Structure 1
C-alpha cells in the first residue's frame, strides 16, 4: 500500500516518514486508533506533525481532535528526547482548565502497524480561525475594524493572563491559532504544540534535541529573542498577539508592516489606528522585553474604550412622552408606528419562542389602553384646568400561562406543569432571561430538525411543549443539586471572563489565603462534571453552561473570602486577649 505526503510523494505504507522530504506520513481516514478514535479527516499540519478530526466511538461518537507529535528525528537518543518533550507537553496541557482553551482529554503512545505514534486528544472547537475570517473579509474588500480588535484583546488577554499565571507560555500566537467559536463567538486559543513551562529559576527555556536547538514560533509573529536566541518570556506572547492584531487590522503579513533595516513598524502608513491603541500596541511590540508590558493585566487597564459604543435607546422615553396626550390626528399614526416597531422587537424579547407573537399583541393591547388613558387625562386636564396630569392606575391584561399564548383550552396537567416550573424558578431567584435562554438552547440542541421554529399552542405541538417543560424541569433539578447560594443564582446570566480575572487576582494577592486559581479550577470542574457529565467544558456556551460554571466558582471564592475574613477576626481577638 502506498501513502502520500502533503507534497504527493509516494511512499511505502510501512514508512513513518516520507523518503523524499522527511515529512511525517499521515494516518488514514477511517482508521481507528487505540480501539477508540476513528479518523474523520485531516485538519492541518505543523512542524511536529498533523492534526486530525476524530470521533470518540466510546463517548457517544463525540468529535475530538487528535494532535500528532512526530518530530523528524531518527537517532535513538533523539527519539527518547522527543518522547520526554511529548510527555512534558502533555503534563502542561493537563493543567490548563479554562473555558477558552480546548479541554485536554488524554495522551496516547500507540503502535499502528510498525509505526509508533504519539498523540494528544483534545476537545474539538467548531468555528473558523482568524486567518480564515480575515480571508473572508478581504474577499469583500474589508479587514477587521479597530472596535473588533479591542473586543478581541479584551476577550483573549484574560486567557493569556491565566496561562501565564501558571508560568506557561504559548509561543505560537497568530491568526491561525485563534478560533472564533461558533457557539458563543468567543476567541479560543488553540495549538499548544509549542507550549513550554518556564523553570522557576529562570525566565527562558532552551530545548535541545541532541545537539540541535529547537526554536519555535512563526517568523514575523515571534519576537527576536524567541526566533534567534531561543529565549522566551511571558511577554513574548504579548508581542505575538500585537502582531496578530496588526495583521487583522491591515490584511497584510508582518513582513510588509515592518522595516527590518531600521527596526521600525510602519505607523501612520500601513498601520492606521487611534493614538490610544497605537500607544498600547507600540509598548506590546517593544524590541526589548524589559520595555514591553510585563503582563496581560497591564494591557487591559490601558486599552481605550471601544469605538463601537451603542447609542442609548430612546424609544421608550419618546413613546411615554407622546402617549400622555396624543391628540386625535396622531393616534392612528402612533398605533401604526408602534405595531411596526413591535414586530422588530419580538426577536429580542426574552421569552420562549412560542410566546413572542403573544407578546406583540399584548404590547398592542397595552398601548391601546394607555392611549385611551392618555386621552382621558387630557380631557380631564382641560375640565379641571390643572397644569399637571396624574394618570390613573391601569390594570394590564396578564400573560396567559405557558405554553398556551393564544388562550386556547389546555389540560389541567399542562397548566400545573407550567405553574410549578415558573414557581420553582421564582423561588430559586434565577433570572428569567437566563433561564429561558438556557432552556431554549437545551431544547433546540436536542431538536435540530426544528431549526428553532416557534412552537404553537396547537395539538400537533403538544408533545414538543411537554418536552420543553421537561427540559426546564431537569435544568431546575440540576441547579438545585448544585446547591448554589441565592446571591450567586441571582447573578446567572451576568458572569463574564472579567469575574474570573478578578478571582485570579485575589488568589495571587493572597486575599483567598492559600487557595490558588488552580484549586478553584479543579474543584469547580469536578462539581460541574458531576452535574453535567456529558457537557464538554472546552466547548461551552458562555451564556448558558458557562454561567453555571462561573456560578459554582463564585460560590467557592465567596466561601474562601468568608474563611479568610473569619481567620483575620479570630487572629485579631487572640492578639487583643494577649495584650
Structure 2
C-alpha cells in the first residue's frame, strides 16, 4: 500500500516518515496510540499536524478526536515556539467547560519511530461544519436564510461570551470551525489551535516566531489588526463571526464581498439583509475595534428576532436523532401536490430495463416524511413502462440541508445492538451518512408499513423498534462489505446520477471500453446486485437509495474493464 505526505511524495505504507522530505506520514487505520487510542480514520490536516477519529479502548470504544502535533519547522527555536502554542491550547482547553465546546480529555507525548509526537484528546463532535453545509446548499442553488443566520448568532454568541469572560479569544472563527452537532442540533465551536489567553493588563496579544510575527486567522475572516499587526481584542472574534454570517448568507467568500481598495462592504449589492440585521453586522464589522460591540452579549441584545427559526434537516432518521412526524394537513397537501407532479412525469419518461427492480406504481407512491418544523424528504415515484436504455433525468424536490431542530437524542441503552459499533463501521467504510440513513429508513419502513408517518422516540416502548432499525443497519453494512466496492465508489454513494450512466454509455459506444458493451455492463451489474439483494419484489426498493448501490457496482465494473483486470 502506498501513502502520501502533504507534498504528495509517494511512500511505502510501512514508513512512518516521508523518505523524500522527512514529514511524518498519516497514522494507519487500526494503529493504536499510547496503547489506548485506535485510529479509525483521518479527519483533517493543518499546519501543525493532523486530526484523527479514534476509539478509546479504555472507555468501551468511545469515539474521540486525536489532534496530532507535528509542525514542519526548520529551526529549533521555531519548534520550541510551536510547542508553546500547542501547550497553550492544551492549558486553555482544560479550563473551558461549555457544552458547545469539545471537552478536553488528555494531552499525550508518544514516541513513534525515533521521534516524539504530541497529541490532544478531545470529544468527537458528530456533524457537518458550516462550510460543508453551505456547499450542500450551493449545489441546490441556495444559501442560508436570514432567519437561520440570526438563529446561529443567537446560539453561538453565548459561547463567545463564555470564553471571553475567561479572557480567551478564539482568533479563527469561520464556517469550517463551527460544526452543527447532530445529537442536539446546536453549533459547536472547534479548533482552538489559534486561541490566546489575554493577560489581564494587556489589551492585545502578539506572538513572535523567531523574528517574524505568527499571524493566526484566515484571510478575509480576521480583522485588520489581527492579520496585519498581530494584535487581537475580544471583539476581533465578533468581527470574524460577522464575516462568517455574510458568507453563509451570500455563499461568497469574503474577498468578493469587500472592496479592499475603498475599504467598504458591498451592502445592498452582494449583501442584502433586513435593515436591523444590517445595522448589527455593520457595527460588528467596524474597521476600528473601538467602534465595534465590545462584548458578545451586546450583540445579542441588538439582534432582531427571526421571523422563523425553522431549520430543515437532511435526515428522516439518524443513528442518534429521530424525526418528529408532521401535522396531517400539511403532509396531505404535500402528498397530493407531489402525486400530481409525478403523474405528469410518468407520461413522458421511460425507464431502462435495468431499473425495473426499482420501478413502482404511481398510485400511492408519494410518501413524505416531514417534521413539525417544516422538514421533509421525499421518496420519489418511478414508472413501470420501459422502452429505452436511456436513463431519464427526473426532477425531484430538493432535500433541505440542516439537521432537524426538533429531533431529540435517543437513548439506546436498552437495545441489544451496539449503535456505536454501527457508526464506527460506517465511518471505516467511508459511506456517506446521509445516504446510509436513507437506505436504512427505506428498508425499515418497507418492513413496517404501519409505521409510515410516525417516527421512533426515545421512550422504552420503542426500544424494540430502535433495535430493529439498528439490526437493518447492521445487515446493510454486511451487504455493502460483501459488495467489495472500492473506496472511491463507497465515498460517492448518494452522489451518483444519470450523468454517470450516460458517460459509461458514451464510452462504450466510442469503444473506449474495448468490446465491452452497455448491455454487458447492465447484465454484470444486475447479477452482482441480485446476489446481494435476492428475491426483491418489484417496487420494493427505493430508487434514491438502493439504485445508488447499483451505480457503485457498475462504476467498479467499468474501472475494472478500463484497467484490463
Alpha-carbon distance in 2 for matches of 1:439, 1:261: 52
Aligned to 1:303: 303
Aligned to 1:390: none
Aligned to 2:238: 238
The yes-or-no answer on 1:212 pairing with 2:212 is yes
After superposition, give the CA deviation of every residue in 1:467-512 in whole Å (9 maximum; x if it has no partner).
959x9xxxxxxxxxxxxxxxxxxxxxxxxxxxxxxxxxxxxxxxxx
Q: How does 1:1-16 map to 2 (within 5 A)?
A: 3-10=3-10, 16=17
After superposition, give the CA deviation of every residue in 1:209-230 in whole Å (9 maximum; x if it has no partner).
3223211000000011111111
Query: Is the 1:455–1:465 contact (alpha carbons within 8 Å) kept by the matching residues of 2?
Result: no
Q: How does 1:222-233 map to 2 (within 5 A)?
A: 222-233=222-233
The 1:445/1:138 distance shift into structure 2, 3 A limit, reads farther
Aligned to 1:201: 201
The yes-or-no answer on 1:82 pairing with 2:82 is yes
Aligned to 1:56: 56
Query: Is the 2:15–2:25 contact (alpha carbons within 8 Å) kept by the matching residues of 1?
Result: no
Cα deviation, residue 281, structure 1? 0.3
Alpha-carbon distance in 1 for matches of 2:67, 2:257: 32
Q: How does 1:309-328 map to 2 (within 5 A)?
A: none
Query: Is the 1:146–1:307 contact (alpha carbons within 8 Å) kept by the matching residues of 2?
Result: no
Query: Is the 2:43–2:50 contact (alpha carbons within 8 Å) kept by the matching residues of 1?
Result: yes
Aligned to 1:282: 282
The yes-or-no answer on 1:32 pairing with 2:32 is yes
The yes-or-no answer on 1:265 pairing with 2:300 is no
Cα deviation, residue 114, structure 1? 1.1
The 1:455/1:142 distance shift into structure 2, 3 A limit, reads closer
Aligned to 1:154: 154
**Between 9-18 and 79-88, the greater mean CA deviation after superposition:** 9-18
Aligned to 1:144: 144
Aligned to 1:398: none
Aligned to 2:522: none
Cα deviation, residue 168, structure 1? 0.7
Query: Is the 2:204–2:233 contact (alpha carbons within 8 Å) kept by the matching residues of 1?
Result: yes
Aligned to 1:249: 249
Query: Is the 1:50–1:68 contact (alpha carbons within 8 Å) kept by the matching residues of 2?
Result: yes
Query: Is the 1:28–1:39 contact (alpha carbons within 8 Å) kept by the matching residues of 2?
Result: yes
Structure 2 counterpart SS, 1:272: coil
After superposition, give the CA deviation of every residue in 1:410-434 in whole Å (9 maximum; x if it has no partner).
xxxxxxxxxxxxxxxxxxxxxxxxx
Query: Is the 1:43–1:53 contact (alpha carbons within 8 Å) kept by the matching residues of 2?
Result: yes
Query: Is the 2:172–2:216 contact (alpha carbons within 8 Å) kept by the matching residues of 1?
Result: yes
TM-score, normalised relative to structure 2? 0.56
After superposition, give the CA deviation of every residue in 1:302-331 in whole Å (9 maximum; x if it has no partner).
001112278xxxxxxxxxxxxxxxxxxxxx
Cα deviation, residue 465, structure 1? 6.5
- Segments of 5+ residues of structure 2 without an aligned counterpart are 311-327, 336-366, 373-406, 423-439, 451-458, 467-565
Query: Is the 2:215–2:227 contact (alpha carbons within 8 Å) kept by the matching residues of 1?
Result: yes
The structure whose residues are more often helix, as a share, is 1
After superposition, give the CA deviation of every residue in 1:448-475 in whole Å (9 maximum; x if it has no partner).
699798899xxxxxxx968959x9xxxx
The 1:74/1:466 distance shift into structure 2, 3 A limit, reads same
Structure 2 counterpart SS, 1:164: helix
The 1:217/1:279 distance shift into structure 2, 3 A limit, reads same
After superposition, give the CA deviation of every residue in 1:261-312 in whole Å (9 maximum; x if it has no partner).
00000000000000000000000000011110001100000001112278xx
TM-align CA RMSD: 3.7
Give the count of matched residue pairs: 351
Cα deviation, residue 99, structure 1? 0.8
Alpha-carbon distance in 2 for matches of 1:225, 1:445: 56
